[in-house]
A = this chain, B = another copy of it.
Amino acid sequence: MRTDLDSTATATASASASANPTQIDPFVRVRGARENNLQNVDVAIPRDAIVAFTGVSGSGKSSLAFGTIFAEAQRRFFESVAPYARRLIQQGHTPKVEEISGLPPAVALQQRRGTPSSRSSVGTLTTLSNSVRMMYSRAGTYPAGAAHLAAEAFSPNTATGACPVCHGLGVAHTVSEQTLVPDTSLSIRDGAIAAWPGAWQGKNLRDITVELGYDIDSPWRDLPQKARDWLLFTEEQPTVQVTPQRDRVAKPYSGRFWSAKSYVMHTLADSKSQPMRDRALAYMTSGPCPSCDGSGLRPEALAITVAGLSIADLNALPLTELAATLRPVAHATTGTRPTPRDHSSAGTEAPSDNNAEIAATISRDLLQRVEVLLELGLGYLSLNRATVTLSPGEMQRLRIATQLRSGLFGVIYVLDEPSAGLHPADAEPLLAVLEQLKASGNSVYVVEHNMDIVRRADWLVDVGPRAGEGGGHILYSGPVAGLADVADSITRPFLFDETATGAAGGAGGVATSATAAAATAATAAAPPTAGVRAAAGDSSRALRSPEHWLRLSGIRHHNLRDLDAGVPLGILTAVTGVSGSGKSTLVSQVLADVVGRHVHTPASEASGEADTTATSTTTATTTAGDDDLALDLDPALAPALDPTDERVTVRSVTGIDTVDRLVRVDQKPIGRTPRSNLATYTGLFDAVRKVFAATDEARSRGFGAGRFSFNVAGGRCETCQGEGFIAVEMVFLPGTYGPCPTCHGSRYNADTLEVTYRGKSVADVLGLTVEAAATFLADVPAAARSLETLREVGLGYLRLGQPATELSGGEAQRIKLATELQRARRGHTLYLLDEPTTGLHPADVRLLLTQLNRLVDAGNTVVVVEHNMDVVAAADWVIDLGPSGGDEGGMIVAAGTPHQVATHATSKTAPYLARRLTPA
Interface residues of A (CB under 8 A from B): 1-2, 4-5, 7-8, 10-12, 14-16, 18-20, 22, 24, 26-27, 32, 34, 41-44, 46-50, 72, 74, 76-77, 79-82, 85, 88-90, 94, 96-105, 107, 118-119, 150, 152, 155, 157-160, 162, 168, 339, 341-343, 345-347, 403, 406-411, 439, 441, 458-459, 465, 473-479, 482, 485-486, 488, 724-725, 728-733, 737-741, 744-745
A474 near B4: Cβ-Cβ < 8 Å: yes
Provide the residues of chain B in CB contact with A49, threshold 8 Å. Answer: 15, 18-20
A408 near B80: Cβ-Cβ < 8 Å: yes
Complex alpha-carbon distance, A732 and B477, angstroms: 45
One of B19, B48, B476, B737 near A48 (C-beta < 8 A): B19
Complex alpha-carbon distance, A162 and B730, angstroms: 10
B725 near A4: Cβ-Cβ < 8 Å: no
Complex alpha-carbon distance, A79 and B89, angstroms: 12
One of B88, B96, B406, B475 near A80 (C-beta < 8 A): B406
* Contacts A24-B48, A77-B105, A77-B411 known; 9 new A-B pairs at CB < 8 A: A4-B44, A18-B458, A19-B46, A19-B458, A20-B26, A88-B88, A104-B105, A159-B731, A346-B724
B346 near A14: Cβ-Cβ < 8 Å: no
A732 near B101: Cβ-Cβ < 8 Å: no
Provide the residues of chain B in CB contact with A26, threshold 8 Å. Answer: 12, 15-16, 19-20
User: Could you list some 22 contacts between A and B, CB below 8 A?
Assistant: A1-B486, A2-B485, A5-B42, A12-B26, A18-B458, A19-B26, A19-B459, A20-B26, A34-B342, A77-B107, A77-B411, A80-B403, A97-B341, A100-B407, A104-B411, A105-B410, A105-B411, A119-B732, A158-B730, A346-B739, A410-B410, A410-B411
B102 near A441: Cβ-Cβ < 8 Å: yes
| Nearest 8 interchain pairs by C-beta | A19-B49, A104-B410, A346-B745, A346-B739, A11-B478, A8-B44, A7-B478, A410-B410
Provide the residues of chain B in CB contact with A14, threshold 8 Å. Answer: 479
Separation in Å of the A210 CB from the closest CB of chain B? 49
Complex alpha-carbon distance, A561 and B245, angstroms: 107
Complex alpha-carbon distance, A423 and B116, angstroms: 58
A486 near B2: Cβ-Cβ < 8 Å: yes
Separation in Å of the A87 CB from the closest CB of chain B? 10
Complex alpha-carbon distance, A738 and B137, angstroms: 15
A4 near B477: Cβ-Cβ < 8 Å: yes
Complex alpha-carbon distance, A410 and B47, angstroms: 11
A105 near B408: Cβ-Cβ < 8 Å: yes
Provide the residues of chain B in CB contact with A118, threshold 8 Å. Answer: 732
Nearest B residue to A724, CB-CB: B346
B16 near A732: Cβ-Cβ < 8 Å: no
- Evaluate whether A41 and B739 lie within 8 angstroms (CB atoms) in the complex, with A15-B459, A410-B105, A459-B15 already known: no
B4 near A43: Cβ-Cβ < 8 Å: yes
B5 near A407: Cβ-Cβ < 8 Å: no
Provide the residues of chain B in CB contact with A465, threshold 8 Å. Answer: 1
B157 near A732: Cβ-Cβ < 8 Å: yes
Provide the residues of chain B in CB contact with A88, threshold 8 Å. Answer: 85, 88
One of B19, B158, B406 near A79 (C-beta < 8 A): B406
Nearest B residue to A439, CB-CB: B22
Separation in Å of the A521 CB from the closest CB of chain B? 15
- Evaluate whether A407 and B76 lie within 8 angstroms (CB atoms) in the complex, with A4-B474, A5-B44, A479-B14 already known: yes
- Evaluate whether A104 and B479 lie within 8 angstroms (CB atoms) in the complex, with A18-B49, A48-B20, A403-B80 already known: no
Complex alpha-carbon distance, A108 and B634, angstroms: 41
B15 near A46: Cβ-Cβ < 8 Å: yes
Provide the residues of chain B in CB contact with A15, threshold 8 Å. Answer: 26, 46, 49, 458-459, 478-479
Separation in Å of the A615 CB from the closest CB of chain B? 23
Nearest B residue to A729, CB-CB: B159
Separation in Å of the A187 CB from the closest CB of chain B? 47
Separation in Å of the A539 CB from the closest CB of chain B? 36
B475 near A731: Cβ-Cβ < 8 Å: no
Nearest B residue to A412, CB-CB: B410
Complex alpha-carbon distance, A439 and B25, angstroms: 11
A1 near B475: Cβ-Cβ < 8 Å: yes
One of B44, B474, B731 near A168 (C-beta < 8 A): B731
Nearest B residue to A29, CB-CB: B8
One of B90, B150, B731, B740 near A162 (C-beta < 8 A): B731
- Evaluate whether A85 and B80 lie within 8 angstroms (CB atoms) in the complex, with A11-B479, A48-B19 already known: no
Provide the residues of chain B in CB contact with A403, threshold 8 Å. Answer: 80
Complex alpha-carbon distance, A747 and B557, angstroms: 55
Complex alpha-carbon distance, A476 and B1, angstroms: 8
Complex alpha-carbon distance, A48 and B88, angstroms: 31
B103 near A104: Cβ-Cβ < 8 Å: no
Complex alpha-carbon distance, A26 and B441, angstroms: 10
Provide the residues of chain B in CB contact with A459, threshold 8 Å. Answer: 15, 19
- Evaluate whether A76 and B478 lie within 8 angstroms (CB atoms) in the complex, with A48-B19, A119-B732, A473-B1 already known: no
Nearest B residue to A102, CB-CB: B409
Separation in Å of the A413 CB from the closest CB of chain B? 9
Provide the residues of chain B in CB contact with A90, threshold 8 Å. Answer: 82
B8 near A27: Cβ-Cβ < 8 Å: yes
Separation in Å of the A705 CB from the closest CB of chain B? 25
Complex alpha-carbon distance, A5 and B81, angstroms: 33
